[in-house]
Amino acid sequence: MAGTAGTVADLIAAEDVLLFVNAAVTSTGQREFHSGAGEQRLSLSFLHEYVRINYRPLYAAVLALDINDHNAARIVVDLLRTADEATPAQKRNEGRLIAARLAALPPQRVYRAFRALRTAGVNNRRTRAIQRDWLAARPDLGHDAVKYRSGLKTVARHTHQPLGDELGDFLFRPGKSARYADARLDAYRRARYEQGAIYELPFTVAEGFAAKHGVPRDLFLERIAPRMTRLERLRSQRSTGMPTDLAAMPLTRLALFVLSLPRQERAARRTELTGALRAAAARVAGPHAGSWGRVSAVLDDSYSSSGSGVKRRRPLAVALGAHYLLKALAGSYRAHWLSGGSDALLVRPWGPSPLGTRVLDALEDSPDRLVIVSDGWDNAPPGLAGEVLRIWRTRLDRERRTSVVHLNPVYDADAFDVRRLAPSVPTAGVRDAEDLAALVEIAQFAEGRTGLPELLTYLDRRVDDFLTGRGGDER
């Protein structure tokens, strides 16, 4: 009996952790199509607190998975805020994971997390050491002083970090120096009264000065172009017409850009945009290209894939990116869009969600793999997809010749999870199409046939890969 209880407890623990992983991948506490920002934040906060208290080592290990930056920063802050709840061994493991994840996060996220620690009054020796080590590893504090001025000031003040006389004067005693040896610091000083200095600054900093001086937007974008990052160029391409290497963009970001274009423009630029999407997908597929056999996909382009005001077209972009990635991974491939359309480049969010019908169509292909990318709202008619998948698993494909997985880009705040289609089909949350292959792997744990030992083995491998630089989040 004790063994049975242990097995049940393990299954519950595995399910709890997978719930949290799905939330940490998909939710950013922002409004979604079916739920508001308040509901998202409340639901997400509950899961963070619940998993941290009950499964602290696993809570920390999630930092090694492909979770989004919002939740990664939240885990870092919560682990450091509650350090007195951890054993010495746990603190050592957490410290390594925190340092590795901070190194992978965008610097603005890290500065924001450090500001949250200061607001929470977390100022112990361990936290200060982590912050000092991160600052010491920054490649160029002069750049940070200009671009992330308030964040760097907060960390330096919080950790009592010596920054050198010039940086110290720039941050804490502005106006003391008539000029700075560092060209960027001096450009920032001169940009207050000299328009030419604006174009020596990072784009986001220069924007504010350009507005202050009344520089026409077109002229500013033309002159600042050499200092823009690849993503900044992509965001500005339509207004400036400046050339951008679209094929070098990350797959999901590129899909979002494509969907932001009018359909007429997409059609006119078909060769360019399709080539860029295929190149981005091939780069993600890498050596696994063509290795997945026969693949069919059910892809959600229903009206709810429009997302929300703060996450415009995000679910549809994930489906579009997944389409091109699955095409690259498959030996043979067929897509089934919910709308019934066949032109992926021209997809738009509209109509109901006939998931059941499209799943039937996809299963008729007799694929080796069926991948469903959808928010799980099956409403034409409701519940048909779940019944189709149940009958398929229990009566028609008991030998599991076809592998079925559901990837859901939307967190369901009411259910504390992503919405599922059927108990027999593994479901995992997805935020970026680039993570599709890894999420198909982790989805196997959501079927209920594997428990905590298998999940722990998987997490240990991912942690080891993350800490040794063989894996982790590259976004």
Each residue's pLDDT expressed in tens, for the chain with a length of 475 residues: 333 344 667 667 778 888 899 899 988 877 777 677 778 888 999 999 999 999 999 999 999 998 999 999 999 999 999 999 999 999 999 999 999 999 999 999 999 999 999 999 898 889 999 999 999 899 888 899 999 989 998 888 888 877 878 888 888 888 777 788 888 899 999 998 888 899 999 998 998 899 999 999 888 888 888 888 877 776 776 555 555 678 778 999 999 999 999 999 999 999 999 999 999 999 999 999 999 999 999 999 999 999 887 788 999 999 999 999 999 999 999 999 999 999 999 999 998 889 999 999 999 999 999 999 999 888 878 889 889 988 888 888 788 889 899 999 998 887 778 888 888 888 888 989 998 988 887 777 766 555 678 788 888 999 999 998 765 443 3
**What CA–CA distance (Å, rounded) separates 240 from 432?**
27
Q: For residues 275 and 411, state if they share a domain.
A: yes
| Length reported for the chain | 475
Query: Which of 181, 216, 244 represents a domain boundary (last residue)?
Result: 244
Give DSSP secondary structure letters for 203-229.
Answer: HHHHHHHHHHHT--HHHHHHHHGGG--
Residue 93's contacts (CB-CB under 8 Å, 6 or more residues apart) are 57, 60
Amino acid residing at 80: L
Q: For residues 231 and 298, state if they share a domain.
A: no
Q: For residues 347 and 379, state if they share a domain.
A: yes
CATH no. for residue 283? 3.40.50
- Token pair 């907060």 is at which residue? 154
Contact 391/423 with Cβ under 8 angstroms?
no
Neighbours of 309 (CB within 10 A): 8
Instruction: Using the CB atoms, write b or e for 134-164: b if 16+ within 10 Å.
Output: bbeeeeebbbbbbbbbebbbbbbebbebebe
User: Phi then psi for 115, rounded to 5 degrees?
Assistant: -65, -40
Q: For residues 280 and 330, state if they share a domain.
A: yes
Contact 29/70 with Cβ under 8 angstroms?
yes
Contact 58/51 with Cβ under 8 angstroms?
yes
Could you tell me the sign of the dihedral formed by the alpha carbons of 466, 471, 473, 475, in that order? positive
Q: For residues 277 and 368, state if they share a domain.
A: yes
Residue 272 included in any domain:
yes
* Ramachandran sector of residue 286 (left: φ over 0; alpha: ψ -120 to 50; beta: rest): left
Q: What is the pLDDT of residue 1?
A: 33
**What CA–CA distance (Å, rounded) separates 116 from 173?**
24
Neighbour-count burial of 209, counting CB atoms closer than 10 A to its CB (0-12 exposed, 13-18 middle, 19+ buried)? buried
Residue 156 included in any domain:
no
Residue 358 included in any domain:
yes
Residue 402 included in any domain:
yes
Contact 375/419 with Cβ under 8 angstroms?
yes
Q: For residues 288 and 349, state if they share a domain.
A: yes
Q: What is the pLDDT of residue 419?
A: 85
Cα distance between the two ends of the chain? 46
CA 463 from centre of chain: 18
Q: For residues 399 and 420, state if they share a domain.
A: yes
Which residues constitute the domain of residue 214? 191-244
CA 475 from centre of chain: 7
pTM tops 0.85: no
Residue 162 included in any domain:
no
Strand ranges, E, within 151-277 = none
Residue 20 included in any domain:
no
Q: For residues 272 and 384, state if they share a domain.
A: yes
**What CA–CA distance (Å, rounded) separates 433 from 322?**
5
**Nearest-10 Cα torsion for 346, 429, 253, 297:** -30
Query: Which of 244, 260, 289 represents a domain boundary (last residue)?
Result: 244
How is residue 444 written in tokens?
């196997």
User: Dmax of the chain from CA atoms?
Assistant: 81
Residue 116's contacts (CB-CB under 8 Å, 6 or more residues apart) are 77
**What CA–CA distance (Å, rounded) separates 103 from 234?**
25
Q: For residues 233 and 340, state if they share a domain.
A: no
Q: For residues 203 and 332, state if they share a domain.
A: no
Number of domains in the chain: 2
Neighbours of 67 (CB within 10 A): 25
Q: For residues 390 and 306, state if they share a domain.
A: yes
Residue 60 included in any domain:
no
- Token pair 């920063």 is at which residue? 73
Q: For residues 257 and 302, state if they share a domain.
A: yes
**What CA–CA distance (Å, rounded) separates 312 from 306?**
6
Residue 180 included in any domain:
no
Give DSSP secondary structure letters for 383-396.
Answer: THHHHHHHHIIIII
**What CA–CA distance (Å, rounded) separates 100 from 63?**
9
Q: Residue 429 belongs to what H/E stretch?
A: strand 427-429
Q: Does residue 235 sit in helix, strand or coil?
A: helix
**What CA–CA distance (Å, rounded) separates 245 from 250?**
11
**What CA–CA distance (Å, rounded) separates 287 from 129?**
40
**What CA–CA distance (Å, rounded) separates 44 from 282?**
34
Q: Does residue 175 sit in helix, strand or coil?
A: coil
Q: What is the pLDDT of residue 399?
A: 82
